[in-house]
Amino acid sequence: MNAHTEKRLSGRTVFRGKIIDVVHDTVELENGRQTTREVVRHRGAVAILAYDGPKLVLVRQYRYAVGAELLEIPAGKLEENEQPLAAAFRELSEETGGFCTDLEPLGDYYGSPGILGEHISLFFGHLSGEGSQHPDEDEFLSVVRLLPDQLREKIAAGEIADGKTLAAFALAQEKGLLD
């Protein structure tokens, strides 16, 4: 089986932001033709499906990019030079006040790989304690606890539109972590 690739010939950064960079590249396709790619570069992120038996811990927050309040698992971007596991422990504490003694990797997720380079590491953990939330100063969210069947019903009803939540829940079910 042949691996499909594209070769970057040239490019430029058209926007450099606090969280993302946008690049416009010229690439050579495997058939020799050239085309352009517009890509959003991102440092990466983590998302945590936390289990506080018998309920799962989610957060509800307004997402400006989609103009709606979403129900999703706790998540956040990696800080510079931060490892995903450390970021997962930090984000869970910041967003929910909860903490786990151990987090199990569920897998990796790309939300929109056609344009977005954000790599999200997904984790699962059992809450072992709880403190108070301490979200970033521009973050306003509320903690919501749902039984796995309640989350499954919301997914089936189309009430959960967040990809990382859908992926983490499916992976945790597949691995038998919610039985």
Confidence at residue 160, expressed as pLDDT on a 0 to 100 scale: 97
Q: In terms of DSSP bridges, do strands 55-63 and 141-146 run parallel, antiparallel, or are they unpaired?
A: antiparallel
Active-site pick, 6, 91, 137, 153: 137
Q: Is residue 30 annotated as a catalytic residue, yes or no?
A: no
Confidence at residue 130, expressed as pLDDT on a 0 to 100 scale: 87
pTM for the predicted model, two decimal places: 0.94
The 10s digit of each residue's pLDDT in 82-126 is: 999 999 999 999 999 999 999 999 999 999 999 999 999 999 999
Q: What percent of the chain has pLDDT above 70?
A: 100
Confidence at residue 167, expressed as pLDDT on a 0 to 100 scale: 98
Confidence at residue 138, expressed as pLDDT on a 0 to 100 scale: 85
